[in-house]
Amino acid sequence: MSKIKETAKVISQEKLALDIYSMWIETGIAKEAVPGQFISVYTKSEARLLPRPISICETGDNSLRIVYRIAGKGTEEFAAYKEGDRVDILGPLGNGFPLTEIEDKCSNGREDQGLILIGGGIGIPPMLELAKQLKGKVTIVVGYRDADMFLDEELKKYGRLVIATDDGSVGTKGNVIDAIKEQGVEGSVICACGPTPMLRGIKAYAAEKGIEAYISMEERMACGVGACLGCVCRSAEVDDHSKVNNKRICKDGPVFKATEVEL
């Protein structure tokens, strides 16, 4: 798997919800990418020198889709790109979800109850390509702030969709764990991406149920390729590369077994 840095062409841009945008980009990175990986997206200003790490939402033959939230001036610039515009990207980065391992874990379980994919907020996008590629019974649990949802219609095509909202306007009122309990979601393996408090809850839930959880983490990044050690997380064991209890989210992750990391 090799990394590509290129000036790619924007195919389309669409607003999905408040501050949430979807952009398809024509790029050879698509062929190399696996679900759970991300790309670095560079702004056109040298004054904003760090790339923005954005998860891959979907891949096509020679194109990929990112669904991202406007969080500052850099992502605001991306949201203004139109069809035919150029964008500098680098990827695919990170490890992605280990699909075969996850499917094996599922089918070797005491009783295959299928997979639970969990996305919270801007952690939802990588679940789309993952849901498309994983074989077997899939339940997708998503958490939003309110009824201003995104990707829900598309996710429904790939499994049972269970929704939680902070304000209770759709589905279970509360977080994704509340929805899992209230709506009777069962599964043998969890894959999740979202804010750290959500991942912490999932780690505890998986431990209680005695099932494996693969979680995708995020952190402020600089290089995105594993050189600068900006985006580490605490690991349970001494890491083989760093020789301390730190793993690089951009290179060793962003996907880890929940038991591997301290949250």
Partner 1 sequence: MKDLSVNIAGVEFKNPVMEGSGTFGSGMEYGEFVDLNRLGAVVTKGVANVPWTGNPTPRVAEVYGGMLNAIGLQNPGIDTFIARDLEFLKKYDTKVIVNVCGKSVEDYLDVVERLSDEAADMLEINVSCPNVKEGAIAFGQKADALYNITNEIKKKAKQPIIMKLSPNVTDITEMARAAEAAGADALSLINTITAMKIDIHKRTFALANKTGGLSGPAIKPVAVRMVYQTAQAVKIPIIGMGGIANAEDALEFIMAGASAVAVGAMNFHDPYTTVKVIDGLRDYMEQYKVSDIKELIGCVK
H/E stretch holding 139: strand 138-144
- Is residue 185 within 8 A of residue 110, CB to CB? The reply is no
The answer to whether the CB of 144 falls within 8 A of the CB of 170 is yes
Q: Site map for partner 1, 167-196, x if CB under 8 A?
A: ------------------------------
Choose the stretch contacting partner 1; rule: CB under 8 A; options: 162-170, 180-188, 230-238, 252-260: 230-238
**Among residues 31, 62, 244, 262, which is the contact residue for partner 1, using CB under 8 A?**
244
Among 10, 70, 222, 236, binds partner 1 (CB under 8 A): 222
Determine which residue in the list 48, 105, 132, 137 makes contact with partner 1, applying CB under 8 A.
48
CA 88 to chain centre: 21
Instruction: Decide: is 127 part of the binding site for partner 1 (CB under 8 A).
Output: no
Q: How far is the CB of 52 from partner 1 (least distance, A)?
A: 10
160 pairs with which residues across the strands?
139
Closest among 175, 174, 172, 173 to 183, alpha carbons compared: 172
CA pseudo-torsion sign 169, 175, 181, 184: positive
Residue 90 is a binding residue for partner 1 (CB under 8 A): yes
CA distance 65 to 150: 14
- Cα→Cα distances 61→29, 118, 126, Å: 10, 26, 17
The verdict on 109 binding partner 1 (CB under 8 A) reads no
Contacting partner 1 within 135-174 (CB under 8 A): none
- Choose the binding region for partner 1 from 8-16, 118-126, 169-177, 245-253 (rule: CB under 8 A): 245-253
Binding stretches for partner 1 (CB under 8 A) = 2-3, 5, 42, 46-51, 90, 219-233, 241-246, 251
